Amino acid sequence: MATAIVATEYGGPEVLTATEVEVPAPGPGEVTIEVRAAGVNPFDYKRYSGAFGKDPKALPMRLGGEVSGVVTAVGADAVGPGGPIRVGDEVLARPEGGYATAVTTKAARVIPKPADVSWEVAAGVQAVGGTAVHTLAATGVSAGDTVLIHGAAGSVGSLAAQLAVARGARVIGTAAPSRHERLRGYGVEPVEYGPGLIDRVRALAPNGIDAAIDTVGTDEAVDVSLELVADRGRIATIAAFGRVAETEIKGLGAGPGADPGTEIRGNAWRELLDLLSGNKLDLVIAATYPLAETAAAHEFVIEGHAGGKVVLLP
């Protein structure tokens, strides 16, 4: 048996509760993981909020698609993207129902964890890191480009900014003043969002902006990007899906009409873990919560100003 968090109905974080669940023995091509940390993502709370519909048959709803932990059992032919998986391996995975003390999942979703990467970072990097890599690929960011990243201090924006700098791009990133010093440490030129943003960006980049990445979804982010970037094919958003059709910018992720980037995101772990292991990439852990306080963790994320990844610790 394991303790798992489920949504008993559709609504806010108050519908989340802990319950005891069976952990199936791993079948062929499956493994069981003792969960050490579970990443919290906006997709998790959108599911039980009813944003994707309110099918009563989906209740009670298991949550969580990102964990790190130790393999405790393996089925036949348990081979993941990094090779054969064995009992005792430290791993990160993308299971279904990862808000739990243990979970059984497909070996194809399990990746070896570098020894020098913490449980919290390992549990939090796949979703945001894959998204960050996707934004750079979709906008064609490369050496010599000047890139504007909206929300550069957030979990996706921060990784996108660091990866863009590593590729030789000049990065201008919007953020609250309290986070400017951290961005400077990444080699990013910070700028405060809000009224006058377009003038502040123009002052920093009088020769123009080559590409823009929106991670916040505001009209300001989209409008400033449209004004500053000549090629709309080099503007991408992971949040402002309502603006995609009318503006012809790229929508990325799970939004309506968006490019899911399945292959890009699925292979991003190779680059991300290599950089994390070499201390060449910083994933900020904004807060950790015990599994029993999942509702509080979701309330914190929903506020929208976490400034990094939120992780549950079973």
Per-residue pLDDT tens digits for 228-266? 999 999 999 999 999 999 999 999 998 888 999 999 999
Q: What is the DSSP track for 128-166?
A: HHHHHHHHHHHHT--TT-EEEEETTTSHHHHHHHHHHHH
Q: What mean pLDDT comes out for the span 134-150?
A: 98
Confidence of residue 305 (pLDDT cuts 50, 70, 90): confident
Those residues whose C-beta lies under 8 Å from the C-beta of residue 79, and which sit 6 or more positions away, are 29, 85, 107
Three-state DSSP class for 224?
A: helix
Residue-wise pLDDT tens digits, 64-106: 999 999 999 999 999 999 999 999 999 999 999 999 999 999 9
- Give CA–CA dist 38/124, Å, rounded: 7
Spatial contact of 313 and 305, defined as CB atoms under 8 Å apart: no
304: pLDDT strictly greater than 80 = no
% the chain with pLDDT above 90: 94
307: pLDDT strictly greater than 80 = no
E strands present in 179-304: 189-191, 211-214, 235-237, 250-251, 285-290
Q: Is 296 exposed, middle or buried (0-12, 13-18, 19+ CB in 10 A)?
A: middle
Spatial contact of 103 and 47, defined as CB atoms under 8 Å apart: no
Is pTM beyond 0.85? Reply is yes
What local confidence, expressed as pLDDT, does residue 51 receive?
Answer: 87
Amino acid at 162: Q
What local confidence, expressed as pLDDT, does residue 42 receive?
Answer: 87
Closest CA to 101 of 281, 241, 291, 276: 291
52: pLDDT strictly greater than 90 = no
What local confidence, expressed as pLDDT, does residue 163 receive?
Answer: 98
306: pLDDT strictly greater than 80 = no
Average pLDDT in the chain: 96
- Give CA–CA dist 199/234, Å, rounded: 20
Domains, the chain, in order of start with CATH, read 2-116+283-313 (3.90.180.10), 131-251 (3.40.50.720)
Residue-wise pLDDT tens digits, 180-230: 999 999 999 999 999 999 999 999 999 999 999 999 999 999 999 999 999
